[in-house]
Chain A
Amino acid sequence: MTNDAIKLEHVSKKFDDFTAVNDISLTVKEGEIFAFLGPNGAGKSTTIKMLTTLLRPTGGTLELAGNNVVTHPDAARKSFGVVFQDPSLDDDLTAYENMTLHAALYSVPKTGLRERIEQLLALVELKERENHLVKTFSGGMKRRLEIARGLLHKPHILFMDEPTLGLDTQTRQLLWDYVTKLSRENDMTIFFTTHYLEEAEMVAGRIAIIDHGKIIALGTDQELKQQTGTDSLEKAYLKLTGTKVRDEEVSDADNRASRIRARRIR
Protein backbone atom coordinates (compact mmCIF):
# COMPACT_ATOMS: atom_id res chain seq x y z
CA MET A 1 0.00 0.00 0.00
CA THR A 2 1.44 3.36 -0.92
CA ASN A 3 0.64 6.38 1.17
CA ASP A 4 -0.17 9.84 -0.01
CA ALA A 5 2.71 12.22 0.66
CA ILE A 6 0.76 15.34 -0.25
CA LYS A 7 -2.98 15.68 -0.14
CA LEU A 8 -5.00 18.79 -0.96
CA GLU A 9 -8.78 18.76 -0.59
CA HIS A 10 -10.85 21.68 -1.84
CA VAL A 11 -8.10 24.16 -1.02
CA SER A 12 -8.80 27.86 -1.59
CA LYS A 13 -6.96 31.06 -0.86
CA LYS A 14 -8.58 34.46 -1.15
CA PHE A 15 -6.91 37.84 -0.75
CA ASP A 16 -9.70 40.38 -0.27
CA ASP A 17 -11.65 40.11 -3.51
CA PHE A 18 -8.93 38.24 -5.41
CA THR A 19 -9.05 34.43 -5.43
CA ALA A 20 -5.50 33.15 -5.93
CA VAL A 21 -6.35 29.47 -5.48
CA ASN A 22 -9.86 28.27 -6.15
CA ASP A 23 -10.98 24.91 -4.75
CA ILE A 24 -8.13 22.64 -5.84
CA SER A 25 -7.80 18.98 -4.90
CA LEU A 26 -4.92 16.66 -5.69
CA THR A 27 -2.82 13.91 -4.17
CA VAL A 28 0.84 13.10 -4.70
CA LYS A 29 2.06 9.63 -3.80
CA GLU A 30 5.15 8.84 -1.80
CA GLY A 31 8.23 8.83 -4.00
CA GLU A 32 6.48 10.57 -6.87
CA ILE A 33 8.02 13.46 -8.80
CA PHE A 34 5.25 15.91 -9.42
CA ALA A 35 5.40 19.04 -11.58
CA PHE A 36 3.10 21.95 -10.90
CA LEU A 37 2.89 24.22 -13.94
CA GLY A 38 1.02 27.37 -14.79
CA PRO A 39 1.41 30.93 -16.07
CA ASN A 40 2.53 33.76 -13.81
CA GLY A 41 -0.07 34.59 -11.21
CA ALA A 42 -1.91 31.29 -11.72
CA GLY A 43 -1.57 30.30 -8.06
CA LYS A 44 1.58 28.13 -8.05
CA SER A 45 3.56 30.02 -5.44
CA THR A 46 0.49 30.62 -3.31
CA THR A 47 -0.11 26.85 -3.27
CA ILE A 48 3.50 26.15 -2.30
CA LYS A 49 3.31 28.80 0.43
CA MET A 50 0.21 27.12 1.85
CA LEU A 51 1.86 23.70 1.69
CA THR A 52 4.96 25.00 3.45
CA THR A 53 2.91 26.69 6.25
CA LEU A 54 3.82 30.24 5.20
CA LEU A 55 0.22 31.01 4.27
CA ARG A 56 -2.98 29.86 5.85
CA PRO A 57 -5.64 28.61 3.41
CA THR A 58 -9.06 30.26 3.45
CA GLY A 59 -10.72 26.91 2.84
CA GLY A 60 -10.05 23.18 2.48
CA THR A 61 -7.42 20.92 4.04
CA LEU A 62 -3.77 20.26 3.24
CA GLU A 63 -1.90 17.22 4.53
CA LEU A 64 1.79 16.36 4.35
CA ALA A 65 2.67 12.75 5.18
CA GLY A 66 -0.66 12.55 7.01
CA ASN A 67 -0.13 15.72 9.06
CA ASN A 68 -2.62 18.53 8.72
CA VAL A 69 -0.65 21.66 7.85
CA VAL A 70 -2.96 24.01 9.74
CA THR A 71 -3.67 22.01 12.89
CA HIS A 72 -0.27 20.29 13.23
CA PRO A 73 2.16 22.69 11.57
CA ASP A 74 5.29 21.49 13.40
CA ALA A 75 4.73 17.83 12.50
CA ALA A 76 4.09 18.92 8.92
CA ARG A 77 7.21 21.11 8.94
CA LYS A 78 9.40 18.19 9.99
CA SER A 79 8.24 16.22 6.97
CA PHE A 80 9.39 18.58 4.24
CA GLY A 81 12.38 20.47 2.94
CA VAL A 82 11.95 23.45 0.67
CA VAL A 83 13.93 25.30 -1.95
CA PHE A 84 12.32 28.68 -2.40
CA GLN A 85 12.15 30.72 -5.56
CA ASP A 86 14.38 33.38 -3.94
CA PRO A 87 17.45 32.54 -1.89
CA SER A 88 16.97 32.04 1.85
CA LEU A 89 20.59 31.53 2.92
CA ASP A 90 22.62 33.74 5.23
CA ASP A 91 25.26 35.31 2.99
CA ASP A 92 27.48 36.30 5.91
CA LEU A 93 27.87 32.72 7.06
CA THR A 94 29.83 29.92 5.42
CA ALA A 95 28.16 27.05 3.62
CA TYR A 96 28.96 24.80 6.58
CA GLU A 97 27.55 27.29 9.11
CA ASN A 98 24.31 27.57 7.12
CA MET A 99 24.06 23.80 7.35
CA THR A 100 24.67 23.60 11.14
CA LEU A 101 22.09 26.31 11.73
CA HIS A 102 19.58 24.34 9.70
CA ALA A 103 20.45 21.19 11.68
CA ALA A 104 19.66 23.05 14.91
CA LEU A 105 16.37 24.37 13.51
CA TYR A 106 15.32 20.78 12.70
CA SER A 107 16.89 19.11 15.76
CA VAL A 108 19.06 16.88 13.57
CA PRO A 109 21.08 14.70 15.99
CA LYS A 110 24.62 15.98 16.55
CA THR A 111 26.21 12.56 16.25
CA GLY A 112 27.31 12.00 12.70
CA LEU A 113 26.21 15.51 11.75
CA ARG A 114 29.58 16.59 10.41
CA GLU A 115 29.76 13.52 8.16
CA ARG A 116 26.24 14.05 6.92
CA ILE A 117 26.85 17.73 6.10
CA GLU A 118 30.07 16.91 4.30
CA GLN A 119 28.41 14.12 2.38
CA LEU A 120 25.60 16.42 1.24
CA LEU A 121 28.02 19.21 0.31
CA ALA A 122 30.03 16.69 -1.67
CA LEU A 123 26.87 15.58 -3.42
CA VAL A 124 26.18 19.11 -4.66
CA GLU A 125 29.89 19.59 -5.37
CA LEU A 126 30.47 22.25 -2.77
CA LYS A 127 32.69 20.26 -0.42
CA GLU A 128 35.77 22.33 -1.23
CA ARG A 129 33.87 25.54 -0.57
CA GLU A 130 32.33 24.51 2.76
CA ASN A 131 34.24 27.14 4.73
CA HIS A 132 33.70 29.97 2.26
CA LEU A 133 31.18 32.72 2.92
CA VAL A 134 27.99 32.23 0.92
CA LYS A 135 28.23 35.80 -0.41
CA THR A 136 31.15 34.65 -2.56
CA PHE A 137 28.97 31.99 -4.25
CA SER A 138 27.39 32.24 -7.70
CA GLY A 139 23.63 31.88 -8.17
CA GLY A 140 24.01 28.24 -9.16
CA MET A 141 26.18 27.43 -6.16
CA LYS A 142 23.68 29.04 -3.82
CA ARG A 143 20.85 27.03 -5.34
CA ARG A 144 22.85 23.82 -4.91
CA LEU A 145 23.59 24.74 -1.31
CA GLU A 146 19.88 25.35 -0.70
CA ILE A 147 19.10 21.92 -2.07
CA ALA A 148 21.75 20.30 0.17
CA ARG A 149 20.35 22.21 3.13
CA GLY A 150 16.77 21.23 2.29
CA LEU A 151 17.82 17.57 2.42
CA LEU A 152 19.78 17.75 5.67
CA HIS A 153 16.93 16.70 7.96
CA LYS A 154 15.97 13.80 5.63
CA PRO A 155 12.56 15.15 4.63
CA HIS A 156 9.92 12.88 3.09
CA ILE A 157 8.93 15.63 0.72
CA LEU A 158 11.00 18.23 -1.11
CA PHE A 159 9.26 21.34 -2.40
CA MET A 160 11.02 23.35 -5.05
CA ASP A 161 9.60 26.60 -6.38
CA GLU A 162 11.23 27.30 -9.75
CA PRO A 163 14.52 25.79 -8.58
CA THR A 164 16.25 26.21 -11.92
CA LEU A 165 15.22 29.80 -12.63
CA GLY A 166 18.20 31.78 -13.91
CA LEU A 167 20.55 28.80 -14.00
CA ASP A 168 22.52 27.76 -17.09
CA THR A 169 21.71 24.55 -18.93
CA GLN A 170 24.64 22.61 -17.43
CA THR A 171 23.70 23.51 -13.87
CA ARG A 172 20.06 22.72 -14.50
CA GLN A 173 20.96 19.31 -15.87
CA LEU A 174 23.24 18.61 -12.92
CA LEU A 175 20.62 19.72 -10.45
CA TRP A 176 17.94 17.43 -11.86
CA ASP A 177 20.41 14.57 -11.88
CA TYR A 178 20.98 14.97 -8.12
CA VAL A 179 17.37 15.43 -7.32
CA THR A 180 16.03 12.49 -9.31
CA LYS A 181 18.77 10.27 -7.92
CA LEU A 182 17.89 11.30 -4.37
CA SER A 183 14.24 10.72 -4.97
CA ARG A 184 14.91 7.22 -6.29
CA GLU A 185 17.33 6.27 -3.52
CA ASN A 186 15.30 7.62 -0.60
CA ASP A 187 11.77 7.30 -1.90
CA MET A 188 11.50 11.05 -1.49
CA THR A 189 8.49 12.87 -2.92
CA ILE A 190 9.28 15.90 -5.07
CA PHE A 191 6.83 18.67 -5.78
CA PHE A 192 8.16 21.43 -8.02
CA THR A 193 7.14 24.34 -10.18
CA THR A 194 8.94 25.46 -13.30
CA HIS A 195 8.53 27.49 -16.45
CA TYR A 196 10.84 25.13 -18.35
CA LEU A 197 8.39 22.60 -19.74
CA GLU A 198 11.13 20.27 -20.95
CA GLU A 199 12.16 19.80 -17.31
CA ALA A 200 8.69 18.68 -16.39
CA GLU A 201 8.63 16.36 -19.41
CA MET A 202 12.02 14.95 -18.48
CA VAL A 203 11.66 14.27 -14.75
CA ALA A 204 8.05 14.40 -13.64
CA GLY A 205 5.85 11.34 -13.29
CA ARG A 206 2.72 13.45 -13.31
CA ILE A 207 2.03 17.05 -14.17
CA ALA A 208 -0.69 19.41 -12.98
CA ILE A 209 -1.48 22.64 -14.80
CA ILE A 210 -3.06 25.42 -12.79
CA ASP A 211 -4.59 28.55 -14.28
CA HIS A 212 -6.64 31.29 -12.66
CA GLY A 213 -6.44 29.34 -9.40
CA LYS A 214 -7.98 26.15 -10.81
CA ILE A 215 -6.38 22.90 -11.89
CA ILE A 216 -7.20 22.61 -15.57
CA ALA A 217 -5.24 19.45 -16.38
CA LEU A 218 -3.64 16.61 -14.47
CA GLY A 219 -1.83 13.53 -15.74
CA THR A 220 1.37 12.16 -17.25
CA ASP A 221 2.91 14.12 -20.11
CA GLN A 222 1.55 11.47 -22.51
CA GLU A 223 -1.94 11.91 -21.15
CA LEU A 224 -1.75 15.68 -21.46
CA LYS A 225 -0.57 15.41 -25.06
CA GLN A 226 -3.33 12.93 -25.92
CA GLN A 227 -5.96 15.00 -24.19
CA THR A 228 -5.04 18.05 -26.27
CA GLY A 229 -4.12 16.20 -29.45
CA THR A 230 -0.64 17.70 -29.54
CA ASP A 231 2.83 16.19 -29.87
CA SER A 232 4.74 18.15 -27.22
CA LEU A 233 4.10 19.26 -23.67
CA GLU A 234 4.72 22.85 -24.71
CA LYS A 235 1.97 22.74 -27.32
CA ALA A 236 -0.35 21.00 -24.89
CA TYR A 237 0.41 23.64 -22.27
CA LEU A 238 -0.26 26.51 -24.67
CA LYS A 239 -3.45 24.92 -25.87
CA LEU A 240 -4.66 24.62 -22.29
CA THR A 241 -3.58 28.00 -20.98
CA GLY A 242 -3.82 30.10 -24.16
CA THR A 243 -1.14 32.20 -25.78
CA LYS A 244 -2.08 35.48 -24.19
CA VAL A 245 0.78 36.99 -22.16
CA ARG A 246 -0.23 37.32 -18.54
CA ASP A 247 -0.21 40.66 -16.87
CA GLU A 248 2.81 40.57 -14.56
CA GLU A 249 0.86 42.78 -12.19
CA VAL A 250 -1.31 39.86 -11.26
CA SER A 251 1.66 38.02 -9.89
CA ASP A 252 2.95 41.17 -8.21
CA ALA A 253 -0.41 41.83 -6.65
CA ASP A 254 -0.45 38.23 -5.51
CA ASN A 255 2.96 38.61 -3.94
CA ARG A 256 2.09 41.91 -2.34
CA ALA A 257 -1.18 40.58 -1.07
CA SER A 258 0.47 37.54 0.40
CA ARG A 259 3.10 39.66 2.06
CA ILE A 260 0.53 41.96 3.59
CA ARG A 261 -2.14 39.45 4.50
CA ALA A 262 -0.02 36.41 5.17
CA ARG A 263 -0.57 34.85 8.53
CA ARG A 264 1.93 32.22 9.42
CA ILE A 265 0.33 29.22 10.98
CA ARG A 266 1.59 28.95 14.50
Chain B
Amino acid sequence: MASSAPMADKLFSDELQSLQGLEAAPSGEPPSRFVQRCQDWFEAWLDANKHPLEKGEVPASQVLMFIFAEAPDIERSGNASSQDRMTKALKA
Protein backbone atom coordinates (compact mmCIF):
# COMPACT_ATOMS: atom_id res chain seq x y z
CA MET B 1 0.00 0.00 0.00
CA ALA B 2 1.47 3.32 -1.04
CA SER B 3 1.07 6.15 1.41
CA SER B 4 2.98 9.41 1.04
CA ALA B 5 2.29 10.76 4.54
CA PRO B 6 2.03 7.74 6.81
CA MET B 7 -0.45 7.89 9.70
CA ALA B 8 -2.15 11.04 8.40
CA ASP B 9 -5.32 9.04 7.94
CA LYS B 10 -5.04 7.49 11.39
CA LEU B 11 -5.43 8.93 14.86
CA PHE B 12 -2.30 9.33 16.95
CA SER B 13 -2.05 7.84 20.42
CA ASP B 14 -1.57 11.27 22.01
CA GLU B 15 -4.82 12.35 20.38
CA LEU B 16 -6.58 9.34 21.89
CA GLN B 17 -4.93 10.12 25.23
CA SER B 18 -6.37 13.64 25.15
CA LEU B 19 -9.89 12.20 25.33
CA GLN B 20 -9.54 11.32 28.99
CA GLY B 21 -12.24 12.77 31.15
CA LEU B 22 -14.67 12.99 28.24
CA GLU B 23 -18.22 13.62 29.37
CA ALA B 24 -20.90 11.24 28.08
CA ALA B 25 -23.92 13.01 26.60
CA PRO B 26 -27.41 12.00 27.79
CA SER B 27 -28.59 8.86 26.02
CA GLY B 28 -31.97 7.64 24.80
CA GLU B 29 -34.57 8.93 22.38
CA PRO B 30 -34.51 12.69 21.65
CA PRO B 31 -37.55 13.47 23.92
CA SER B 32 -36.03 11.66 26.91
CA ARG B 33 -32.68 13.35 26.36
CA PHE B 34 -34.55 16.63 26.34
CA VAL B 35 -36.14 15.77 29.70
CA GLN B 36 -32.72 14.93 31.15
CA ARG B 37 -31.39 18.30 30.00
CA CYS B 38 -34.45 20.02 31.52
CA GLN B 39 -33.80 18.33 34.85
CA ASP B 40 -30.18 19.50 34.82
CA TRP B 41 -31.31 22.99 33.93
CA PHE B 42 -33.98 23.01 36.66
CA GLU B 43 -31.48 21.84 39.27
CA ALA B 44 -29.16 24.67 38.27
CA TRP B 45 -32.11 27.07 38.43
CA LEU B 46 -33.07 25.91 41.93
CA ASP B 47 -29.49 26.37 43.01
CA ALA B 48 -29.22 29.86 41.50
CA ASN B 49 -32.51 30.97 43.04
CA LYS B 50 -31.90 29.48 46.45
CA HIS B 51 -32.21 32.71 48.40
CA PRO B 52 -35.32 34.14 46.71
CA LEU B 53 -36.94 30.72 47.12
CA GLU B 54 -36.11 30.54 50.83
CA LYS B 55 -37.43 34.03 51.39
CA GLY B 56 -40.60 33.18 49.50
CA GLU B 57 -39.92 35.81 46.85
CA VAL B 58 -40.83 33.51 43.97
CA PRO B 59 -44.62 33.73 43.80
CA ALA B 60 -46.59 30.49 43.63
CA SER B 61 -48.34 31.79 40.53
CA GLN B 62 -45.21 31.27 38.41
CA VAL B 63 -45.16 28.27 36.13
CA LEU B 64 -42.22 26.74 34.32
CA MET B 65 -43.10 25.07 31.02
CA PHE B 66 -40.80 23.04 28.79
CA ILE B 67 -41.94 22.39 25.24
CA PHE B 68 -40.14 19.78 23.18
CA ALA B 69 -39.81 20.37 19.45
CA GLU B 70 -37.30 18.73 17.17
CA ALA B 71 -37.02 21.71 14.86
CA PRO B 72 -38.45 24.63 16.86
CA ASP B 73 -37.78 27.31 14.22
CA ILE B 74 -39.71 25.50 11.52
CA GLU B 75 -42.41 24.00 13.70
CA ARG B 76 -43.16 27.31 15.39
CA SER B 77 -43.60 29.27 12.17
CA GLY B 78 -45.50 26.59 10.30
CA ASN B 79 -47.68 25.38 13.12
CA ALA B 80 -49.05 28.50 14.75
CA SER B 81 -52.49 26.94 15.07
CA SER B 82 -51.31 24.25 17.47
CA GLN B 83 -49.74 26.93 19.65
CA ASP B 84 -53.02 28.81 19.69
CA ARG B 85 -54.74 25.63 20.76
CA MET B 86 -52.27 25.19 23.57
CA THR B 87 -52.72 28.78 24.77
CA LYS B 88 -56.48 28.27 24.77
CA ALA B 89 -56.10 25.02 26.69
CA LEU B 90 -54.00 26.79 29.30
CA LYS B 91 -56.55 29.57 29.68
CA ALA B 92 -59.42 27.15 30.06
Q: Note whether A and B form a binding pair.
A: no
A interface list, Cβ under 8 A from B? none
